[in-house]
Structure 1
Amino acid sequence: MEKILKRLIGENTTCDFKEFLERKQYKSWLKSVSAFANGIGGSLFFGVNDDGEVVGLKDAKSDTEFISDKIKNIIDPIPDFELKSIQTENGKTVLELHIPSGSMTPYYFVNSGSRIAFIRIGDESVIASSGQLSSLVLKSRNVTYDSLPTEYTLKDMTFEKLAKTYEKQTNLSFKEKLLRSFSLVTDKGFLTNAGVLFADQCPFRHSSLYCTRWSGIHKDDAKDSREYQGNLLTLLNAGEQFVDLHNLKGWIKLSNRRLNTPDYSSRAVFEALVNAFIHRDYSELGSEVHIDIYDDRLVIYSPGGMFDGSLIQDRNLDDVSSKRRNPILADVFSQLNFMEKRGSGLRKICNESAKLPGFSRAKEPRFRSQATSFYTELLNNNYKKHINDPVNDPVNDPVNDPVRLQNLLQLDLITLLKEDPTITRPELCERLNVSLATIRRALAQLKNLKLIERVGSDKSGHWNVSNIIEKN
């Protein structure tokens, strides 16, 4: 049993530990029941502390009855669930409450006149936003946003951009019947949301792209700022052109010549933009894809976190599933040979960046997600900090070492702790827009890597950041 729990510690999206059954504050665990049923399912283990250590329950039978009763009376609709009593080798009892993914979403926590639906983000159960509620309603109907029919018909729209792109990419002629084959038009002649997003006259205001080239490494003064609105192919082309405009060329001195090298891999940028347009949450009205270019990096922001509720910074890129929020959009881009079907986009971004001349592991792309956002960060391959400052040398700076720092959140934490060693955990939450649990986990990871240490108490102490890199 202990071995199983240790394995589950890393699977925070589908696992929750409770040291004991909270009877008065039952919302503390019922919200996870709602979140698991609304997501990909999961299990709560009662009698296990936060570290995965088995402490056991005093009266497992009574706890079982209480859990079952509260789920039936508080969660609406009642989800499927299974309660299992587990005896450990040392005689302690643990209760596993397993909740599979539900088909009647959203599942609400109902109490005192309020109805709240929760979703799972990383290791937390959080209140679903209005956009996420809409997605849960669609899930219960077994439909996706991009498949919903609209009021627009083929008479209202044209698809010349899509037709030309298809013919160029496939060397095949584009015929109107493909619109139905691609699920862009229903049998009754109405465009789906996906159809509108590919139409030449796309009227969706949220189908837009904001591009900014900033001066320096922060959002201070903008050198160039442009806004684009239109169908997805238009936005994809506009994004490529904007990055190409600011994708400067450096050079590497070889024995007999100079080798030119761009700041960013054009193919990696293309893959990142395709990923942003395909996987973004279009139900979040008033949001759009952003490209922000700084001196040292390029960041692409897309509305909507990971579709399964996990955090990309906690995942191995090779193990990320190919679940898609917008399968029709993904299929059309696949038909255009703009992406592969097996969901290898993030890994390809890394592989294409690695092809740049002079590339080092310190320049590997980084990915970070939150409940309603996804960030792809490409590091400028030609950017150098102050050459005469060994602390700021990208080769020797632990902040830039991918062997030690595996995600963007860790990098942001290191930066903030260097700027203000007395910064508190709540302040870190506010600055980075993440939960306290996420901050605690990231700080623990940095401590284990011996990159930071806490000196003194939580109230009056400070953080020490190490400048030593330990190579694998």
Structure 2
Amino acid sequence: MERFELDKHINRLRKAGKDDELVEVKSWSQVPKGGGAKSFWESFSAFANTNGGYIVLGLREPDFIPVEGFNPHKSIQMIRAGLNEQDRDALKLDPVPEHQIETFKLEGSEIVVVTVSPLEVNGPCFYIPAGINNGSFKRVGDEDRKLNHREIYELQNRFTPVSTDKAPVPGSSEADLDEQLLHAFKQRLIESGSRVVSEQGNWLRKKNIVTDSGTLTVAGLLALGEYPQQFFPRVFIDVAVHPGNEKSPVGTTVRFDDRQICEGNLLDMVKEAMSAIKRNLRVRRVVDGLSGNDVLEIPEEVLREALANAVLHRDYSKLSLSEAIHVDIYKDRIDITSPGGLPNGKRPETLTDGFSVPRNHMLSRLLMDIPWSGEVSGVLAEANGTGVPRMFNLMKEAGLPAPKYVVDIATVTVELSRHGLMDNENHKWLVEKLGPNFSNAEGIALILAKEFGTVTPKDLRLQTGHDSEDMRALLDTLVAKEVLQQSSPGNYQIASSAPPLSESEQLVLDAINQSTPVTIRQISQATGKSTASLRPLLRALIDANLVTATAPPSSRNRAYLKA
């Protein structure tokens, strides 16, 4: 750890008055005897099993100042003994994660900082004296919480390919397959020139749909079954519409505005979930040239991709088969949560790297040949790593924040914001400015100008992905429509409906700021104008909503702020 990083962390903790998800502080005014310090090893386990972090020794809470009696050298000896893999009797953690032990001077006293890296092998990292079930922890806020059985299983298999989707489903047979979907699946294989259907033998077995004993595999049943819930009752998508921005908000007796349990095979579930989501989102008419289309506030392709990822990458092991995929629709966002963490060491920051790392290899291969039906072309899951980057680009083009991934050990949630062009206030304001038939790029340009004061062709290119020159032409078109105006070359702002300011009015306006109220005498000193001549100028600026007064005209304390 660099010194400036330590100072930054200590300052943050002092302001908060407590530990947080990244730093755990322990006083150790007396070094625990016999390699004890159970809570220290629990914190070490928690950071290793989550996202890494720091354990700082020699400070007291809540003011985080050095404690008397702290012995850094004995503390380090105790920690190193507990992490020595050559001495199994003294070893406190298994497996031992990457770590670093350093000493720093803080306000004249020496403290110890232990940097714990996230585990890069199968885990979990656990406190040996307590055993794996009671000694495995994760970091949640400023707490070390014990892992449940599902989380332990996830960490035990995180870097190991699993084959749960190839397992047989007792009691199932070819009779449980959806004949119509199976025909469409086989037809796509034929059209793509797949060898498996042209060779002699049972192609269902070669595609890992049916086992040698005649039962269906988990992947075969889920992808092509008529009703997989006969065998896996909880494998469905639960779409719930909430009345606020959280579940069961205080002050309301309404738990759901709408709810739909989506069953069937994976294609049926995703299609039914799409219908449930679409009927609960806003729709806007977008004109492109001479034609127009009704578009959802969140692009349909983003929703389909997020749902397809959820059914493809969720955990289908026995421990997780009791968990459904949850789609929670709130006023400000949609959360799609699936059981199972990110497989094979994948981390949230690498989701857009273009590399597909499927949890369920057999299922992934089948979904690559499950065709969408109706107006949607393509297949249920491409499984080539382009889906998540495409989601990010589509959200950006729609003027929406990028998808946010919240990854826990045993769940993955993607948050899709609804605050965009069809936010009620934004949409009403855009209709007033542009009329009902505006393009996405026009709407984004005005929102950027409204939120940040100005917008440039580069800003618009970064937000929409379109060419800078095309965006410059679009901005110039909005200037011609008197919606925008150029404040300086290349910078565009919302056009003012007020008449241009006189030279004197502009001089007065420049003497007023937004943060510190100024009196008429201070304005007089700054501009060289008399107080008598300033009064009508200030009234005009107030009427134009460019200046606000802090008190009535009769008040001796009246001052002025830029609006």
Report the TM-score, using the length of structure 1 for normalisation.
Answer: 0.60
Match of 2:390 in 1: 348
The alpha-carbon deviation at position 349 of structure 1 amounts to: 1.6
**Whole-angstrom CA distance in 2 between matches of 1:325 and 1:242:** 27
Larger Rg: 2
Match of 1:411 in 2: none
The alpha-carbon deviation at position 250 of structure 1 amounts to: 1.8
Structure 1, unaligned runs of 5 or more: 404-472
Q: 1:123 to 1:232 in 2, by over 3 A?
A: farther
Match of 1:447 in 2: none
The alpha-carbon deviation at position 119 of structure 1 amounts to: 4.0
Match of residue 28, structure 1, among 21, 39, 45: 39
- Higher RCO (CA-CA < 8 Å; seq separation 6+): 1
**Whole-angstrom CA distance in 2 between matches of 1:294 and 1:343:** 28
Match of 1:225 in 2: 259
Length, aligned pairs only: 386
Q: 1:75 to 1:35 in 2, by over 3 A?
A: farther
Retained in 2: the 8 A contact 1:207–1:231?
no
SS in 2 for 1:352: helix
- Map 1:34-433 onto structure 2 (within 5 A): 34-35=45-46, 58-60=71-73, 63-69=76-82, 72=88, 78-80=94-96, 101-103=120-122, 107=126, 109-111=128-130, 115-119=134-138, 125-136=144-155, 138=157, 143-152=162-171, 154=173, 157-158=176-177, 160=179, 163-167=182-186, 171-172=191-192, 175=197, 179-186=204-211, 191-198=216-223, 199-202=225-228, 203-212=231-240, 220=254, 224-246=258-280, 249-252=283-286, 260-282=294-316, 283-293=319-329, 297-307=333-343, 312=348, 315=349, 318=352, 322-336=356-370, 337-355=379-397, 359-361=398-400, 364-370=402-408, 372-379=411-418, 381-385=421-425, 387=428
Match of 2:2 in 1: 2
Amino acid at match of 1:385: E
**Whole-angstrom CA distance in 2 between matches of 1:349 and 1:214:** 24
Q: 1:243 to 1:141 in 2, by over 3 A?
A: closer
Retained in 2: the 8 A contact 1:303–1:374?
no
The alpha-carbon deviation at position 270 of structure 1 amounts to: 0.7
Structure 2, unaligned runs of 5 or more: 10-19, 249-253, 371-378, 433-445, 453-458, 460-563
**Whole-angstrom CA distance in 2 between matches of 1:249 and 1:131:** 39
Amino acid at match of 2:42: K
SS in 2 for 1:206: coil
**Whole-angstrom CA distance in 1 between matches of 2:263 and 2:388:** 25
SS in 2 for 1:194: helix
Q: 1:110 to 1:240 in 2, by over 3 A?
A: same
The alpha-carbon deviation at position 232 of structure 1 amounts to: 1.5
Retained in 1: the 8 A contact 2:95–2:124?
no
Structure 1 or 2: larger strand share? 1
Q: 1:80 to 1:225 in 2, by over 3 A?
A: closer
SS in 2 for 1:240: helix
SS in 1 for 2:170: strand
SS in 2 for 1:195: helix
Retained in 2: the 8 A contact 1:306–1:374?
no
Amino acid at match of 1:29: F
Retained in 1: the 8 A contact 2:124–2:136?
no
Taking only the aligned residue pairs, the percentage that are identical comes to 21
Q: 1:299 to 1:136 in 2, by over 3 A?
A: closer
Amino acid at match of 1:143: V
Amino acid at match of 1:69: G
Q: Deviations over 1:439-465 (max 9, x none)?
A: xxxxxxxxxxxxxxxxxxxxxxxxxxx
Amino acid at match of 1:28: S
Q: 1:44 to 1:394 in 2, by over 3 A?
A: same
The alpha-carbon deviation at position 204 of structure 1 amounts to: 0.5
